[in-house]
Amino acid sequence: MAERATPDLAISARWILPVEPAGATLEEHAVLVRGGRIEAIVPADRLPPMDPERIVSRPQHVLLPGLVNAHTHAAMSLLRATTPGPALDAWLRERVWPLEARLVSPDFVADGTELAIAEMLLGGITCFADMYFHPEVAARVARSSGVRAVIGVPIFEQATRWTSGLDDSLGRCLELHDRYRSDALVGTSFALHSSSLTTDATLAHVRTLADQLQCPVMIHLLEAASERPRVLRNHGRGPLERLEAAGLLNDLLVAVHCVHASAAEIERIAHGGASVVHCPASNLRLGNGIAPVSTMREAGVNVALGTDGAASNDSLDILAEARLAALLACGSTGNGHALSAHEALGMATLAGARSLGLADVTGSLLPGKWADIACMALHGPAIEPVTDVAEAVIHAAGRAAVSDVWIAGRCVVRDRRLVHIDTVDLMDRCRHQGARVVAALAANAGQ
């Protein structure tokens, strides 16, 4: 019998939160990695004979699946802390869209996306779903950074600075999909801004293409209280009804926000198998309200977590979103057990992977999945004593405790430092972009 090949890497830690099985906590175990995938999880004292240089020991740490940011607009990191203000509709029309008209270019998207990726990696995020202009640039930057990404291609019916209209948008989406269809790290999706800005014909066309390609369809849905009456007035039926009529209410749909979904709408989302991405900080920042996450989960909806863009959040921190989601669920229901730390961690990992069609390859630490792993230090005055590991991760440690990150077994963060991103050069470029943002703000204010 041939000898079993030696693992490429072994990562041992004081604790492991594998997420599957739900609620499990392993003590003094190690993750064995071969060919970029998890080969096994074994007791730390039963490691196979290995070169010591291939063994990473983290004796005061916890290993968990790499976090998944299931919704963001990565390049908008360059608009961080620039556009807080009025209700969603006015915020978009009076602040965000005029800024984007002055600023958005391939270089802007490249620099902003790399800035977002650097922030996310340092916070333990190994996979993100994006939705922004120039998706071909975002895909290239994500691939070169070694991060896992699902790049949403915006479907615009009107001409923009990026596309000449609907046919051009769809063509670019198909082209990007073909370019990355066999890529292990980068995938694509159809990105619809909202039901308000999309005709019935386009919804039906996207549904046909999504079914053929088995690509997710992302859309902002029921984010603000004004959306349902506006869509009813303009289209004769509500936002969810329009998606349902087009055949989009299925397991490929990623409905972002759903703050104002009714109980009946939640039941239909659950029945259709669609996922919801909860963005609690952005919802609060824009005054949109608190999504009924407990009701969604009780109905069987897969609820993931997203940060939204930094323009409406200011940070891309999924651990902070998980903690906020848990606190809001408990506070809004009057039940301190409404969303446990293990459940919040599941929303930040496996639920996000499931929403993007990636649950078979990432989102939990199981043999056969890619070795997408975050490591957090659980020691120090703000964290100890650790009596419950999941509680410590969600409610005490925060992203500052992330020490190491691996994606497909490749180390991308080591001892709290990015391995493959030149932060000096990146910061120089982003400061240059920041000067452009300041000038655009001044120009808009002068109009």
Instruction: Compute the distance between CA of residue 425 and CA of residue 432 in angstroms, rounded to an integer.
Output: 11
Nearest alpha carbon to residue 125 among 313, 316, 282, 254: 316
pLDDT of 88: 82
Instruction: Compute the distance between CA of residue 109 and CA of residue 426 in angstroms, rounded to an integer.
Output: 13
Omega of the bond prior to 292 within 30 degrees of 0, cis?
no
- 79-115 CB burial, b ≥16 within 10 A, e <16: bbebbeeeebeebbeebbebbbeebbbeebbbbbbbb
pTM value? 0.97
- Listed in sequence order, the residues at least 6 apart from 223 whose beta carbon sits closer than 8 Å to its beta carbon are 88, 194, 256, 257, 258, 259, 260, 283, 288
**Which amino acid makes up residue 325?**
A
Long-range contacts of 414-420 (CB under 8 A, 24+ apart): 416/122, 418/118, 418/121, 418/122, 420/145, 420/146
Burial label for 63, CB within 10 Å (0-12, 13-18, 19+), is: buried
Residues 197, 141, 186, 119: is their CA dihedral positive or negative?
A: negative
Tokens of 220: 């902002």
Helix (H, G, I), strand (E, B) or coil at 406: strand
Tokens of 447: 């109009």
- 6-40 CB burial, b ≥16 within 10 A, e <16: ebbbbbbbbbbbbbbeeeeebeebbbbbbebbbbb
Omega of the bond prior to 59 within 30 degrees of 0, cis?
no
Alpha helices (H) in 146-187, listed in sequence order = 166-180
**Which amino acid makes up residue 55?**
I
Burial label for 334, CB within 10 Å (0-12, 13-18, 19+), is: exposed
Fold that domain 67-355 belongs to in CATH = TIM Barrel (3.20.20)
Kindly indicate whether the domain formed by 9-65+371-415 is annotated with CATH number 3.40.50.720.
no
Q: Where in the chain is the domain with CATH 2.30.40.10?
A: 9-65+371-415
pLDDT per residue as tens digits for the range 178-224: 999 999 999 999 999 998 889 999 999 999 999 999 999 999 999 99
Q: Where in the chain is the domain with CATH 3.20.20.140?
A: 67-355
Cα Rg of the chain (Å, integer) = 21
One pLDDT digit (tens) per residue for the chain, 447 residues: 345 678 999 999 999 999 999 999 999 999 999 999 999 999 999 999 999 999 999 999 999 999 999 999 999 999 998 866 667 888 888 888 899 999 999 999 999 999 999 999 999 999 999 999 999 999 999 999 999 999 999 999 988 888 999 999 999 999 999 999 999 999 999 999 998 889 999 999 999 999 999 999 999 999 999 999 999 999 999 999 999 999 999 999 999 999 999 999 999 999 999 999 999 999 999 999 999 999 999 999 999 999 999 999 999 999 999 999 999 999 999 999 999 999 999 999 999 999 999 999 999 999 999 999 999 999 999 999 999 999 999 999 999 999 999 999 999 999 999 999 999 999 999 999 999 999 999 998 876
DSSP letter at 5 equals P
Instruction: Compute the distance between CA of residue 95 and CA of residue 103 in angstroms, rounded to an integer.
Output: 12
Nearest alpha carbon to residue 187 among 144, 152, 233, 159: 152
Q: Which residue's structure tokens are 């848990």?
A: 326
Instruction: Compute the distance between CA of residue 306 and CA of residue 61 in angstroms, rounded to an integer.
Output: 25
